[in-house]
Amino acid sequence: MNIYDVSEKAGVSIATVSRVINGNPNVSEKTKQKVLDVMEEIGYTPNVFARGLGLNTMKTIGIMCSDSSDPFLANAVYYIERELRKNGYDSFLCCTGYELKNKQNYLNLLLSKRVDAVILVGSSFLEFNKKDNGYIINAAKEVPVMMINGYLNNPGIYCTLCDDYQSTYDAAVHFISQDKKDILYLYTSKSYSGIQKMNGYKAAVSEHLGKVNEDLIQICPGNMTASKELLLLLSKGGLKFSAVIAAEDILGVGAIKYAKEAKLTIPDELSIIGYNNSLLATCCDPELTSIDNHVETLSISTVSNLMRVLNGENVPNKITISNDLIIRNTTDFTI
């Protein structure tokens, strides 16, 4: 059931069949109908390999994401996939994990599969050591590379970011204006996003309070128990803090658990802000005030930019989308 079978049954040449398939207007209505009927009848499907062989494209985008079980990334992947489909593109998904070598392998794999572009989801694709980003920069020489929450200023790389710096800056300023000056900052990852967030916090503190107390900046594994235990430990060690800004909701939930164990009232004795506005934020008790980074907008914007790039249009290298603070019961903001 290939184009030859169709052409034979329809009594036309394969060229005509190809024209019908591709919507070429230079076919008489009558011939066109005949061909369509035959295709329907024998259940013909074009062979993507043969097509790809000539065109060297399969209308397919490679998506890389470090961990699809991370709710933020999973949501992003979901929206990206949906938007791509709307535009007639399919996608390859690769869950790369966090090791550089794997990321490199997967990116090469995608290129060898002749994807039309690559989307890197999440800031874990930027390495500390700048040289280690070479594989991304090289890939961008072959196909467009879109990054979500990562930023590289190189030709062929287009970045869509959320304004993590500003959100933690604002969050810290909120606390400070409530006279909560000893704000603990809790984070898990030193990814691009992670650093932006931390810088926002630091900027707010140093601008409004003078010096940043490095003891109030703590790294912590990305699970609830670790977060709770760390806070208990810090508190036992004599560290004072009346507010927590957590770079992930799950760390914020840990802070809630800590407050309960330490018999602190929320939000009076301890205020908490989480990050991502994930499901977790409404499941805990009290519910967690959290920063919403608009995954859907981020994803839609990325795909729409990609379409413009593939279309040869001129697209800015960097687009930043602002975040929202979703106020719940772990703070007494009114705003």
Partner DNA sequence: TTGTACGCGTTATCAA
Partner DNA sequence: TTGATAACGCGTACAA
**Binds 25: which of DNA, its own copies, none (CB < 5-8 Å by kind):** DNA
CB under 8 Å to 26, separation ≥6 — which residues?
19
The reply to whether 20 sits near its own copies by the rule CB under 8 A is no
Kindly provide the b/e burial profile for residues 75-114, where b requires at least 16 CB atoms within 10 angstroms of the residue's own CB.
Answer: bbbebbbebbeeeebebbebbbeeebeebbebbeebbeeb
Q: What is the CA radius of gyration of the chain?
A: 26
22 is a contact residue toward DNA (CB under 7 A):
yes
- Phi, psi dihedrals of residue 144, rounded to the nearest 5°: -60, 140
Residue type, 302: T
**What minimum distance in Å lies between the beta carbon of 307 and DNA?**
19
Contact pattern from residue 249 through residue 268 relative to DNA, giving x for each residue in contact according to CB under 7 A and a dash for the rest: --------------------
Which span (8-16, 71-79, 143-151, 317-325) binds DNA, by CB under 7 A? 8-16
What does DSSP assign to residue 24?
-
The answer to whether 306 and 119 are in contact (CB under 8 A) is yes
Q: Does 87 engage in binding with DNA (CB under 7 A)?
A: no
Partner from DNA, its own copies, none binding residue 333, C-beta < 5-8 Å depending on class: none
Q: Which is nearer to DNA, 112 or 129 (CB)?
A: 112
267: cis peptide before it, omega within 30°? yes
User: Which residues sit opposite 147 in a β-bridge?
Assistant: 120, 159
Contact between 124 and DNA by CB under 7 A: the answer reads no
Q: Which of 271, 112, 111, 43 is nearest to 179 (CA)?
A: 271
In this structure, the number of other CB atoms found within 10 A of the CB of residue 259 comes to: 22
Output 202 or 257, the one with its CB closest to its own copies: 257
d(CA 244, CA 251): 10
The 3-state DSSP class for residue 327 equals coil
- The site for its own copies, by CB under 8 A, has a size of 46
> Nearest approach, Cβ of 13 to its own copies (angstroms)?
21
Q: Which of residues 187-246 bind its own copies (CB under 8 A)?
A: 224-225
Q: Which of 9, 18, 21, 46 binds its own copies (CB under 8 A)?
A: 46
The answer to whether 3 contacts its own copies (rule: CB under 8 A) is no
3 binds DNA (CB under 7 A): yes
Rounded CA gap, 218 and 205, in Å?
A: 15
68 binds, among DNA, its own copies, none (CB under 5 to 8 A by kind): its own copies
As measured in angstroms, the least distance from the Cβ of 259 to its own copies is: 11
- Does residue 81 interact with its own copies by CB under 8 A? yes
Q: Would you count residue 16 as binding DNA (CB under 7 A)?
A: yes
Q: In which element (H, E) is residue 159 found?
A: strand 157-162
Q: What is the largest CA-CA distance in the chain?
A: 88
Residues numbered 24-63 forming contacts with DNA, rule: CB under 7 A: 25-28, 30-32, 44-47, 49-51, 53-56
Asked if residues 121 and 301 have their Cβ atoms less than 8 Å apart, the reply is: no
Q: Could you tell me the sign of the dihedral formed by the alpha carbons of 158, 160, 164, 165, in that order?
A: positive
Q: Does 22 bind its own copies (CB under 8 A)?
A: no
User: Of 10 and 204, which CB lies nearer to DNA in the complex structure?
Assistant: 10
Sign of CA dihedral 299, 301, 302, 304: positive
Q: Which two tokens stand for residue 179?
A: 């006279």
Which residue lies nearer to its own copies by CB, 166 or 302? 302
Q: Should residue 80 be labelled a site residue for DNA when binding is judged by CB under 7 A?
A: no
Which residues sit at the interface with its own copies, rule CB under 8 A? 45-50, 52-53, 56, 58, 63, 67-69, 71, 74-75, 77-78, 81-82, 85, 90-95, 109, 111-114, 224-225, 250, 253, 256-257, 260, 279-280, 282-285
Interface ranges with DNA (CB under 7 A): 2-4, 11-16, 18-19, 21-22, 25-28, 30-32, 44-47, 49-51, 53-56
